[in-house]
């Protein structure tokens, strides 16, 4: 009875949230400011000529910093869960020569695409998040093929990985602290330095976000399900 009551309360709460969201959309007030025109006008004074990059790393840089911080917290939680519930040795990888042959051609192309997305982000759609996603996908392919990243093995490798994970947020905060110490607002870039500072932040963010996404994939515990698979098949046949 208690279980059905909890389900009913959850359903009612979900309906209330949906109704509130629908009402907010229906009763949305008319915009008093033409934001696209304001952004287009302000982009001329930003460090990036593309409006999306200017919004993410100049006009709304606080939001981007917090997004990266949330991603870093997710990795920290995944590390804590893995240490609290170890699931045995890591046996991820497919012994497939065809996959390795394809990777030898595909990985350099993915790295090149990631570099292009990072560089093109200042003048067209792209940037650190897109480039990091491509690099993380390359790392996932390496993991699936059983290729270990030797630079992150052992205790020293773990320290190196953690340092690179915090590199992006650290550079972000350091740039903001520098602008604040220079008499400006936090993350209010000087006009002459804005382009270089944004590029430095994006370079650091690309490495940190890529390693964060790859770490979340690596820290997922698929071995427990794989180990029980033969037993499940045997029970199914019986």
Encode pLDDT of 207-221 as tens digits: 999 999 988 888 765
What number of CA atoms fall less than 13 Å from residue 212's CA on the CB side? 26
Q: Which two tokens mark 191?
A: 């006009």
pTM (two decimals)? 0.71
Q: Which two tokens mark 37?
A: 């025109």
Q: How confident is the model at residue 131 (pLDDT cuts 50, 70, 90)?
A: very high
Helices 194-219 and 167-181, interaxial angle, to 10°?
150
Rounded to whole angstroms, how far apart are CA atoms 141 and 94? 10
Rounded to whole angstroms, how far apart are CA atoms 103 and 166? 29
Q: How confident is the model at residue 154 (pLDDT cuts 50, 70, 90)?
A: low
The pLDDT of residue 136 is 92
First to last CA, the chain: 35
Whether 64 and 57 have beta carbons less than 8 Å apart is answered as yes
Rounded to whole angstroms, how far apart are CA atoms 132 and 117? 9
**Which residues lie below 8 Å from residue 225, measured CB to CB, with a gap of 6+?**
none
The pLDDT of residue 156 is 77
Is the per-residue pLDDT at 144 higher than 90? no
The pLDDT of residue 94 is 65
């Amino acid at each position: 009875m208690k279980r059905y009551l909890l389900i009913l309360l959850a359903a009612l709460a979900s309906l209330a949230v949906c109704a509130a969201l629908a009402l907010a959309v229906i009763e949305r007030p008319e915009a008093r400011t033409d934001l696209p025109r304001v952004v287009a006008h302000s982009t001329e004074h930003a460090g990036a000529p593309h409006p999306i990059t200017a919004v993410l790393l100049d006009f709304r840089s606080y939001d981007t910093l917090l997004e990266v911080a949330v991603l870093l917290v997710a990795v920290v939680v995944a590390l804590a869960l893995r240490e609290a519930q170890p699931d045995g040795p890591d046996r991820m990888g497919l012994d497939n020569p065809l996959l390795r042959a394809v990777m030898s051609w595909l990985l350099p192309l993915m790295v090149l695409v990631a570099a292009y997305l990072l560089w093109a982000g200042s003048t067209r759609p792209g940037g650190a998040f897109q480039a990091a996603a491509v690099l993380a996908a390359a790392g996932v392919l390496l993991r699936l093929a059983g290729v270990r990243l030797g630079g992150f093995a052992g205790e020293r490798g773990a320290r190196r990985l953690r340092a690179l994970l915090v590199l992006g947020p650290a550079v972000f905060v350091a740039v903001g602290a520098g602008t604040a110490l220079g008499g400006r607002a936090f993350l209010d870039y000087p006009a002459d330095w804005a382009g270089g500072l944004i590029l430095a932040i994006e370079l650091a963010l690309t490495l940190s976000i890529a390693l964060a996404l790859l770490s979340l994939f690596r820290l997922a515990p698929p071995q427990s399900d794989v180990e029980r698979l033969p037993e499940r098949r045997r029970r199914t046949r019986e």
